Amino acid sequence: MNVIIRPDEQSVTDTAYLFVKDRMNRKRYRVLGLPTGGTPLRLYRALVEGHQRGDIDFADVHTFNLDEYIGLEGDHPQSYRHFMQVNLFDHINIAADNIHFLSGLPTDIEDECEAYEEAIVELGGIKLQILGIGRTGHIGFNEPTSSLASRTRDKTLTRETVEDNRRFFDSDEEVPRWALTMGVGTIMEAREILLIATGRSKADAVAAMVEGPVTAMCTASALQMHPRTTVILDEAAAAKLDEDEYYR
């Protein structure tokens, strides 16, 4: 695991942007795995600006998002599909057919998840998977006790994750309790992984991911077994790492 500690959120974004731009300018990195949430917002803004400057071209890029809430239509304002449209896809030259998303209202959950896995394989696999990390140590919605070999499927969200997502909804009752998510095993097949985390609330999860044992209680710790993972942190998210001097 390559751990990079930057002074603040802006420099995390700047470093992550340069990393993604570098990979996207290599021909074989045309299939991206993307996260939602508060953390990637600045990176998406930077990618849009990079695109507007002519530094990044999405013409033949395919994207696969990690997860989607069960029960929300793709045009629901709190759906992840909508989040991606508004924050990234509307502002770049990606072909609509190249945007791959799990449906929040699948007719059959198993078929939906299997088809998603197949679509990834058909395109030769995800080359760069971008991730955030939840307070529970989740990647995607792979909450604690998820199998580290899990594939795309439905998951129940933990109380902490529901609380964290509450800010985007008008009332408690509206926050979805279930989601479809790529599995840990699915994520681990990406050629390269970039995880970004900022803020004090992530410090425990980050320490467990980087320095803790590999355990289903922190699914991000599975990344210790991935051959090409880079983690970019701000000082606050890195605050509980014991070996921070070494990473620096």
Residues that bind ligand PGA (CB under 6 A): 35, 37-39, 132-134
CB 15 within 8 A of CB 6: yes
Instruction: List the beta bridge partners of residue 34.
Output: 65
Task: Give me the least distance between CB of 206 and ligand PGA, in Å please.
Answer: 12
Q: Which is nearer to ligand PGA, 123 or 240 (CB)?
A: 240
| Residue of this chain nearest to ligand PGA (CB atom) | 37
Query: Tokens standing for 56?
Result: 């990044």
Give the nearest distance from C-beta 187 to ligand PGA in angstroms: 11
Cβ at position 189, least distance to ligand PGA in Å: 19
Residue number, 37 or 212, with CB nearest to ligand PGA = 37
Nearer CB in complex with ligand PGA: 98/165 = 165
30 or 153: whose CB is closer to ligand PGA? 153
Q: What are phi and psi of 64, to 5 degrees?
A: -125, 120
Beta-carbon contacts of residue 85 (< 8 Å; ≥ 6 apart): none
Residue 190: count other Cβ atoms within 10 Å of its Cβ.
Answer: 24
Do the Cβ atoms of 120 and 64 come closer than 8 Å?
Answer: yes
CB of 151 to ligand PGA, least distance (A): 19
Tell me the torsion sign for CA atoms 102, 233, 55, 85.
Answer: positive
Residue 64: CB minimum distance to ligand PGA, A:
15
Least gap, CB of 26 to ligand PGA (angstroms): 26
Residue (30 or 155) nearer to ligand PGA, CB: 155
Give the residue with the Cβ less far from ligand PGA, 33 or 132.
132
Q: How far, CA to CA in Å, does 129 sit from each of 37, 39, 102, 165, 210?
A: 15, 15, 16, 22, 17
Residue 125's region, left for phi above 0, alpha for psi from -120 to 50, else beta, is left
What is the smallest separation between the CB atom of 35 and ligand PGA, expressed in angstroms?
6
Distance CA 57, CA 47 (A): 10
* C-beta of 98 vs 219, nearer to ligand PGA: 219
